[in-house]
Chains A and B, each alone.
Chain A
């Protein structure tokens, strides 16, 4: 019996299953212990519904600063340059202040 994470791991790494038609996916899901609701969401390829049913939270993605540290014209309109690496004691102080 596979749960939804096991099934998706298998699906992601299986040449046939990753390209499965709706009917093939229906058959493959029928052999699992995944709930009917989750199966329907997976068949609909509805990732948001899957996340909701699993109770996972939306995540923030990493966003890179728009330039290398310290780079930019003199009048850079945004603080692209992070502070220099902090020694351990200063880092603890930084954490305390923020």
Chain B
């Protein structure tokens, strides 16, 4: 299809995590100047807020159906947005947090729109990860920080570094192979605990975290032992943060090489 002459376009923006606090001026401008706005947000109150920014906001929520594969739902969301792009509209997809973090739909919609010759791009937003660093006082530069989608840690043999922070996303649906469920139970979380116990003692502290989505809320920050993680109440919005369990080990061989280089260039080491 030759769409280079079409005026249709797509931009995916992030609303940030907290109502009123994180929306940037560029993202707001994209919303206000769009012909049609599609929205996948964190709660209904935030949807009400977005409805005030544009007269034609279409929630993507109705595409969810009980028992339906989320991949089918996501394809339908992509299709709904692209149909308007192909109709020559300036389309803005609005997503909670950052539109490109743990969000398959915006990436796929942009990829497909570009493949068809339309202008499509993404504007970043304030993600749950950003809020997490602020609320928990973690600097990922201090010890390093690994991020995994929780189920990926179960389905694949990943290498955990217990000298760094480990952050696990989507723990509320950990172990769901069907992509149809909206939660999994304690037995599934116990499998996660058993995998983590290969690298961490069961009395190691883990943090259950959820960013505030409304300004009246406070973030959820709950510290528990890894051994009782399976019994904890963990929903779709919760993230698990596991602090380092071991000190970093120096690498003498590499340090010796660097010292030799320092001497060669006349630097004190």
Contacts and interface: CB of A to CB of B under 8 A. Distances in A.
A13 B151 CA distance: 36
Contacts of B72: 98
Contacts of A42: 216
Interface in A35-74: 42, 45, 47, 50-51, 54, 56-67, 72-73
B173 A9 contact: no
A83 B69 CA distance: 13
B29 interface: no
Given A64-B170, A94-B75, A8 B214 contact: yes
Interface string B82-125: 10001000000001100000111100100110010000000000
A5 B44 contact: no
Nearest to B151: A66
Centre residue among B69, B79, B86, B178 by max chain A CB count within 10 A: B79
Interface in A72-98: 72-73, 76-79, 82-83, 85, 87-88, 91, 94-95, 98
A77 B44 contact: no
A18 B215 contact: yes
Contacts of A87: 1
A59 B71 CA distance: 17
Contacts, number: 135
B47 A5 contact: no
Contacts of B236: 60-61, 63
A63 B18 contact: no
B48 A11 contact: no
A24 B79 CA distance: 47
A67 B44 contact: no
B213 A79 contact: no
Interface residues of B, number: 59
B48 A13 contact: no
Contacts of A50: 45, 214, 216
A82 B111 CA distance: 14
A79 B43 CA distance: 28
A56 B45 contact: yes
A51 B214 CA distance: 10
B146 interface: no
B214 A79 contact: no
A47 B213 contact: yes
Contacts of B22: 12
Contact of B79 (A12, A58, A91): A91
A59 to B, nearest CB: 6
B42 A61 contact: yes
B152 interface: yes
Leading 8 A-B pairs by shortest Cβ distance: A12-B20, A56-B44, A66-B151, A12-B21, A12-B215, A9-B20, A78-B177, A64-B102
Given A66-B152, A94-B79, 14 more contacts: A13-B20, A13-B21, A57-B61, A59-B43, A60-B61, A61-B42, A62-B95, A62-B102, A62-B104, A66-B150, A77-B155, A82-B74, A94-B75, A95-B79
7 contacts: A62-B104, A65-B104, A66-B149, A66-B150, A73-B156, A82-B75, A95-B79
Interface of A: 5, 8-13, 18, 42, 45, 47, 50-51, 54, 56-67, 72-73, 76-79, 82-83, 85, 87-88, 91, 94-95, 98
